[in-house]
């Protein structure tokens, strides 16, 4: 597929809740089939803040298939820089954004409002496809 993608928490939630439009669903499935990449912050959020009762074993299995990018020194440094620059940015979002920037990925998220001001991010909203 060329450039790689980082999948955000809300996209996984919307995927399991069947809340993505058909074009967005197909795009996300193609991304996941090609190279399913998430941040460790997404792993934590998905496995603790799920909205779909009864689907946790399925979600846990799904997350086990992902390449999870960990919080290393470069990501930590970038997350600190982002939190200093964007004071309203939540810690989890800062880690996700930093992971995206450090690994030169495209962020797939429906959470545009929290990431839109970070100039170094390229964002795709699967709801807008």
Q: Are 104 and 122 in contact (CB under 8 A)?
A: no
The 10s digit of each residue's pLDDT in 68-78 is 999 999 999 99
What pTM, to 2 d.p., does this model score? 0.94
CATH number of residue 47's parent domain = 3.40.50.1010
Residues 80-90 have a mean pLDDT of 96
| Count: domains in the chain | 1
Q: Give the domain extent around 33.
A: 5-128
Residues 13-33 have a mean pLDDT of 95
Distances (CA, A) of 20 to 73, 105, 126: 34, 21, 7
């Amino acid at each position: 597929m060329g450039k790689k993608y980082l999948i955000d928490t809300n996209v996984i939630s919307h995927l399991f809740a069947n809340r993505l439009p058909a074009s967005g669903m197909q795009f996300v499935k193609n991304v996941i089939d090609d190279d399913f990449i998430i941040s460790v912050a997404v792993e934590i959020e998905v496995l603790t803040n799920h909205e779909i009762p009864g689907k946790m074993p399925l979600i846990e299995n799904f997350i086990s298939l992902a390449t999870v990018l960990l919080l290393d020194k470069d990501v930590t440094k970038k997350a600190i820089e982002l939190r200093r620059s964007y004071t309203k940015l939540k810690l989890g979002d800062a880690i996700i954004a930093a992971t995206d920037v450090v690994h030169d990925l495209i962020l797939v998220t429906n959470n545009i409002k929290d990431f839109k001001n970070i100039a170094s991010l390229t964002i795709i909203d699967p709801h807008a496809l």
